[in-house]
């Protein structure tokens, strides 16, 4: 493992089982999703709304079988696409990810590896859709007390969401761009980082590069550190993949900044994240590094907490994968912090 400082589930088709629909309905109604400091923040103007320069963007919407949920996918294709198949980066929380990139970054990407960029978000104007991502990004149902002390259950839709990506999103992307299926990467932050890991554990061949930024290993009382991980480690048998685990320095030390401890919602959230030690992601990287076939990198970002890790980790990922300038140390827009 390189370090820098700066259950095997049965995966069913989408909505095949009524249990999946039940979990989704339960999570949509539950306030127990991972806490966002500004849950109503809107996206605003992004690279999708600007005239095409080095990249052009195409959009399509995927709808659930019961027409109750919609995912918005934006595909960025270099305007001068190479004749050879291009690498592709799939990004979760696509609306938030779009707020990280600008035209200068796109121009540098196009001049370097010219990857196809896929932003998987939700069909609304929210930067982060907390209830929806709580369903899609979690392979375990979490039950915890809300701010009123009432037990709430949420999550559990990750395997269905994996099917959605594999069976509906990837084929549409491949129709729109010349993709190299041997150079596919997946990035996610927080619960998205957790989804990256559960995808690695259950579908290690779906992508060649897995980037888990600040993964929410505390989810469901630390269940992500349990059977699924152990079964993957025991059974991987040399399947090759590159794995990057990223963590903010303040996250590892448990420095969560100034929190309003008179706010029941804050107190409830802090109680929930006690399901994993602050350095759990670092420890996970060490365990994965011992798995034959995996190339594991752990990168820590000094002084950064959980929210600022979203833009920092995405910028670092674009640099590591495609050779552009590493802008991860640049101050994040305060308005973009969750």
Supply φ then ψ for residue 185, to 5 degrees. Answer: -125, 150
Q: Hey, how many other C-beta atoms are within 10 angstroms of the C-beta on 334?
A: 8
Q: Is 33 a catalytic residue?
A: no
Q: How many CB atoms lie within 10 A of CB 262?
A: 7
Q: Classify residue 209 as exposed, middle or buried by CB count within 10 Å of its CB (0-12, 13-18, 19+).
A: buried
Contact between residue 213 and residue 183 where contact means Cβ atoms under 8 Å apart: no
Strand 70-78 to strand 151-155: parallel, antiparallel, or no bridges (unpaired)? Answer: unpaired
In whole angstroms, give the CA distance from residue 115 to residue 290.
30
Could you give phi then psi for residue 190, rounded to 5 degrees? 65, -120
Residue 308, CB-side half-sphere exposure with 13 Å CA sphere? 20
The answer to whether residue 306 is catalytic is: yes
Rounded to the nearest 10 degrees, what angle do helices 227-235 and 191-202 cross at? Answer: 40
190 catalytic? Reply is yes
**Catalytic, out of 30, 54, 185, 190:** 190
Residue in 251, 300, 313, 328 annotated catalytic: 251
Instruction: Pick the catalytic residue from 108, 306, 313, 328.
Output: 306
Q: Would you call 274 exposed, middle or buried from its count of C-beta atoms within 10 A (0-12, 13-18, 19+)?
A: exposed
Contacts of 335 (CB under 8 A, 6+ apart): 41
At residue 308's C-alpha, the angle toward residues 161 and 306, to 5°, is 65
Q: What angle do CA 160, 39, 279 make, to 5 degrees?
A: 70
Does residue 142 contact residue 219 with C-beta atoms inside 8 Å?
yes
Q: Which residues are catalytic?
A: 190, 251, 306
């Amino acid at each position: 493992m390189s370090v820098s400082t700066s259950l095997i589930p049965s995966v069913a088709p989408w909505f095949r089982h009524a249990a999946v629909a039940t979990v989704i309905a339960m999570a949509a109604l539950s306030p127990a999703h991972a806490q966002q400091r500004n849950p109503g923040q809107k996206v605003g103007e992004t690279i999708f709304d600007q005239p095409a320069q080095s990249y052009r963007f195409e959009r399509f919407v995927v709808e659930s079988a019961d027409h109750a949920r919609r995912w918005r996918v934006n595909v960025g294709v270099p305007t001068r696409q190479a004749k050879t198949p291009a690498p592709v980066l799939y990004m979760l929380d696509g609306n938030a990810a779009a707020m990280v990139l600008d035209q200068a970054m796109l121009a540098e990407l196009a001049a370097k590896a010219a990857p196809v960029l896929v932003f998987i978000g939700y069909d609304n104007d929210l930067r982060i859709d907390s209830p929806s991502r709580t369903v899609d990004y979690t392979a375990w149902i979490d039950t915890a007390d809300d701010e009123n002390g009432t037990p709430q259950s949420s999550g559990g839709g990750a395997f269905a969401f994996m099917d959605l990506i594999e069976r509906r999103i990837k084929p549409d992307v491949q129709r729109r761009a010349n993709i190299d299926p041997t150079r596919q990467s997946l990035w996610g932050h927080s619960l998205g980082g957790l989804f990256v890991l559960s995808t690695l554990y259950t579908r290690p061949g779906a992508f060649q590069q897995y980037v888990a930024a600040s993964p929410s290993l505390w989810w469901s009382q630390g269940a992500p550190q349990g059977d699924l991980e152990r079964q993957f480690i025991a059974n991987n048998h040399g399947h090759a993949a590159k794995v990057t685990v990223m963590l903010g320095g303040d996250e590892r030390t448990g420095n969560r900044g100034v929190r309003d401890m008179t706010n029941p919602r804050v107190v409830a959230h802090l109680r929930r994240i006690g399901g994993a030690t602050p350095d759990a992601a670092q420890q996970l990287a060490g365990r994965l590094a011992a798995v034959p076939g995996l190339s594991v990198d752990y990168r820590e970002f000094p002084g950064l907490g959980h929210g600022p890790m979203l833009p920092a980790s995405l910028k670092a990922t674009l640099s590591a994968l495609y050779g552009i300038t590493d802008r991860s140390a640049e101050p994040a827009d305060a308005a973009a912090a969750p």
